[in-house]
Structure 1
């Protein structure tokens, strides 16, 4: 059994669990604020998750007190040796426990059992996660790489307002492509500045994009050239309602529909654009994530897609993203 430390706030937990389940773990369940458990984990994929910070092999679960955590560790069998560091965390300050006291006390137990302490480069790291009424002890096995701030939309060679944050783009790619990663092809038919495609490339997928505007297609190519370490991508100019790709060209589609405005493609009303794009999604890939400022469930079903999940995620002010997780009927 594994313990997952989830990122985000309380409203993100169900979405975080879905991302982990789709891309890296089995039988994921949220069991406490900011904490989930899983039966199995693909540790090599954890580094690419957006809404999971760390994964630990679970030693056990007990009451959220230092005394209970110490008793749990003293009773546990430990089949490892060498140096160790203990890291405590109080999730959103939901537990009445001192993490510094827990680190000292649990470190003392491990020293008594023959470990040396190395806070800089330990052989093993014990996580003590206090959340609500519970404490979870586990040996860290993987952590995500939190480098999203290095790819802020405003820092890219080509920028346009309204670009999606890299953290969210990464999560949507993981949800859509899931177990097909890293050998997946991910398509964004309204790619804009290419932010979703960048995150797809960084998790190992082949990135395909199209946009109706030459300006956007050129700008996306500029960003992908600057930010992806490989050239396993392509961006073309194309109409999202008539994509220049063959049937089943991709493993997953991820796209961010226009928000509250007409499409830049003059001949399309917004409803025609999104409905037509969804019909093309059903043709080119078995799985998709559509992000929009409203529900497009009916249009997705009309296009022959099943709405497996839909999340409403507040971005700021009155802007709420409706995240549709879709699969081909």
Structure 2
């Protein structure tokens, strides 16, 4: 598996919704025991998954030796694509493509660089070379859903790529139902819906509910997912116990809550308790750690990340399971 960005631990955790037995072996790459190609398409921080032919030293001759020795059960045209991950190896990718391509031609394959039936990927990461056939690639269309391009926009909206990753960590996917109890403009719900989840949004402000409804209609009307939006208090949700499979929300960032009767500490703590009532797993994103509040609310914090957005904002990501 080939990761995006430079936060491999975070990428590997998200990739766990599409693969089992993930092991990071070099910067930007990991191996796994099993991969669901359909779920790979919906990942944010994984670029693609390969059917691994072999591992070798990071040089063109070793890569060619893997191709020559591997059992190949594919038919049709091929292309070879080589890449150095994060500039971590001094290798000529054009030389690698020539060497591995000639090895495939010697085995009877025809090369088609424009529209091949199969693509052989050769990845170099540090002193490691991985050779494999591409079996799935994630859909990298996040720029088409920039917050400023949505029908309804408010400053502070989360980037779609991050929203997708958090939704995946909260259990989004076909057959799941995902809740955002502070949904704002609906960015997390859009990304959860696009990977097949039914979605439920809640917000204290009527204008946010109206705006989120407009955004969800724009991006999800052509899908089969169900979208429900409610105006209400995140600390007293109009949902039954265990109503959803996962919950994900972006807590207020050091600002006055729009629910005047709550302090920020009470708002987040009580919202966490409500989330634990309606879902077995969740993700909380905030501008500081809420680990103690999450534990007090009935959660176990299974993973935590500090992810820099810009110089003045670091997002604290809490991955939660009901204790």
Is the TM value for this pair above 0.5?
Answer: yes
How far apart, CA to CA, are the structure 2 residues paired with 1:120 and 1:73? 21
| 2:12 equivalent to 1:20 | no
1:318 matched to 2:315? The reply is no
In 1: Cα distance, 2:70 partner to 2:144 partner: 41
Q: Which moved more, 1:269-278 or 1:231-240?
A: 231-240
CA RMSD of aligned residues (A): 0.8
Give the CA deviation at 1:86: 0.3
> In the alignment, which of 158, 161, 165 is matched to residue 167 of structure 1?
161
* Counterpart contact for 1:186–1:205, Cα < 8 Å: yes
SS at match of 1:216: helix
Gaps of 5+ in 1: none
Q: Give runs of aligned pairs for residues 8-47 of structure 1, distance below 5 A.
A: 8-9=5-6, 12-21=7-16, 23-47=17-41
CA distance in 1, matches of 2:216, 2:2: 31
Distance 2:31 2:65 in 1: 21
Aligned residue in 1 for 2:114: 120
Give 1:56's match in structure 2, choosing from 31, 40, 50. Answer: 50
Q: How does 1:1-329 map to 2 (within 5 A)?
A: 4-9=1-6, 12-21=7-16, 23-177=17-171, 181-228=173-220, 229-230=222-223, 232-329=226-323
Q: Secondary structure at the match of 2:170?
A: helix
Q: How far 1:51 moved relative to its partner?
A: 0.4
TM-score computed with the length of structure 1 as normaliser: 0.96
1:41-86 CA distance string (max 9 Å, x none): 1111110000000000100111110011111211112122210000
- CA–CA distance in structure 1, aligned partners of residues 95 and 256 of structure 2: 57
Encode CA deviations 1:127-152: one digit per residue, 9 max, x unaligned: 00011101100011000000000000
Question: Could you tell me the TM-score, scaled by structure 2's length?
Answer: 0.98
Q: Which runs of 5+ in 2 are unaligned?
A: none
Shift in Å at residue 304 of structure 1?
Answer: 0.7
Q: Supply the distance in 1 between the matched residues of 2:164 and 2:190 (Cα, whole angstroms).
A: 9
| Pairwise CA distance, 1:308 | 0.4
Distance 1:46 1:190 in 2: 28
Distance 1:93 1:81 in 2: 33
